[in-house]
Amino acid sequence: MSPPEPGCILVIDDEENMRLVLKTILEREGYRVRQASDGREGLDVLAGGGVDLVLCDVRMPNMDGAAFLHEAVGRDAAAPVIMMSAYGTVDSAVQALKAGAVDYVFKPFQPDEVLLKLKRALEREILKRENLALRRAAAQEPPFGIVARSPCMKDLLTLIDRMAQVKSPVLITGESGTGKELVARALHRAGPRRDQPFVPVNCGAIPDQLLESELFGHVRGAFTDARQDRAGLFREADRGTLFLDEVGELPLALQVKLLRALQEDEVRPVGGAASVRVDLRIVAATARDLAAEVGQGRFREDLYYRLNVLPLSIPPLRERKADVPLLIDHFLIALSARMSRRRPDLDPAAAQALIDYSWPGNVRELENLIERLLVLVHKPVIEPGDLPPHILAGGVPPTATPNRPADLDLKARLRDVEAEVIRMALEETGGNRSEAARRLKISYPSLLTKIKAYGL
């Protein structure tokens, strides 16, 4: 946590010399000091606002410290109070703390003692205020976590609310990083199945030979290593929602079985003799143009129409600039809380640069950038110079340049070329590894091995 900025301290003491001593000590450390000679005068100063902490004596005429403390702690946005006394005991200190004081100082005191207690009290107050701000922010959490100010996103929220009430399949389309799974979860949470399972599966992340078993389950002995029955994700999502992310990655043979499962509301485990009834909501998502995939014979037309009963398209971030400031604020609050650090402010010029940027990676790219800034920038204000050059230039992130050997090592050169071609394939497919492997004409496991080897 960053140290507190020097603030305004109210000193309440009927002894003028004591007030003068404390004023000298505190102003030397950069604090602003206001004074009062008794509790009643102190309340008047406190009512005027601008006080960050109170140092209050116990024994005073007119209104003593105990009466002042009782009045002060009951006020809204009350400043923390440290009590002081030359006649104090451990019991009196305990009573003061129970009454609402944050600390207690016995006179005579050492200046360093007072400064240390004051600093700690201000740090606790900062944490308390930030926690309160975070709780208020959580109470005002956008619907289903979807930040929306732009008209297109407000329309999307309206569609989510309507589509959530029925069982019909939904096909979510949108570029990589736009938040398709977030929308799928919103559909689940807004509907009558909200208390039942939400089961996501990335169809492009599971090898083709395992995908059927993952979806439909298998019986013991159906294949090598099938040592026990497995229910599968369809049955796991029974009465809830099954989210088929990157559904365009499904192989054609499995598309036929998925279509039958959707039409019949039943699945047959691999190696099983009988089908099992299921009752679930299907939500699918893809970054591909499935209509074009149908035209090229890579996706079944009948399955496409079965999934595309309720189409839901998420606009890219560059088409909803009005949401960028809200998203920045949302991520700054959430990620700062996760990192247990004070949330920094954003310089207006830096904020404008983020708004003007095209965000090819959409919301995911913005969230990753905010996280990187919070890790690397330890200042109260994020300035334009803290942003990556490509953000300031309004362009796209520079492609990493492969290391090139100084000699004519043919194997090293070939590795460089291979790494660059794989990188290009991943970029062209939006990071979809299954599609990249298909275009590269290599197996999916082989691609994963090369990605790890080249650090891509």
Q: Domains (ranges, CATH) in the chain?
A: 8-139 (3.40.50.2300), 145-315 (3.40.50.300), 318-393 (1.10.8.60), 410-454 (1.10.10.60)
d(CA 416, CA 308): 42
Band of the pLDDT at 310, cuts 50, 70, 90? very high
User: Cα dihedral angle (207, 209, 211, 215), rounded to 10 degrees?
Assistant: -160
Instruction: Tell me: pLDDT of 412 over 80.
Output: no
Q: Dig out the tokens for 217 from the structure.
A: 């389950």
Band of the pLDDT at 72, cuts 50, 70, 90? confident
Instruction: Tell me: pLDDT of 3 over 60.
Output: no
Band of the pLDDT at 202, cuts 50, 70, 90? very high
Band of the pLDDT at 410, cuts 50, 70, 90? low
- The 10 Å Cβ neighbour count of residue 440 is 18
Pick the range with the lowest mean pLDDT from 55-64, 288-297, 424-433.
Answer: 424-433
Instruction: Tell me: pLDDT of 1 over 50.
Output: no
Tokens 């599971």 correspond to: 206
Instruction: Tell me: pLDDT of 382 over 80.
Output: yes
Instruction: Tell me: pLDDT of 443 over 50.
Output: yes
CB 1 within 8 A of CB 126: yes
Instruction: Tell me: pLDDT of 164 over 90.
Output: yes
Give mean pLDDT, residues 183-188.
95
Cα 286 to chain centroid, rounded: 23
- The 10 Å Cβ neighbour count of residue 205 is 14
Pick the range with the lowest mean pLDDT from 24-28, 58-62, 432-436.
Answer: 432-436
| 123 closest CA partner among 47, 52, 68 | 52
Q: Dig out the tokens for 17 from the structure.
A: 């010399």
What is the model's pLDDT at position 402? 41
Pick the range with the lowest mean pLDDT from 27-31, 36-40, 196-200, 393-397.
Answer: 393-397
pTM: 0.59
d(CA 55, CA 432): 62
Pick the range with the lowest mean pLDDT from 23-37, 85-99, 239-253, 306-320.
Answer: 85-99
| Summary mean pLDDT of the chain | 86
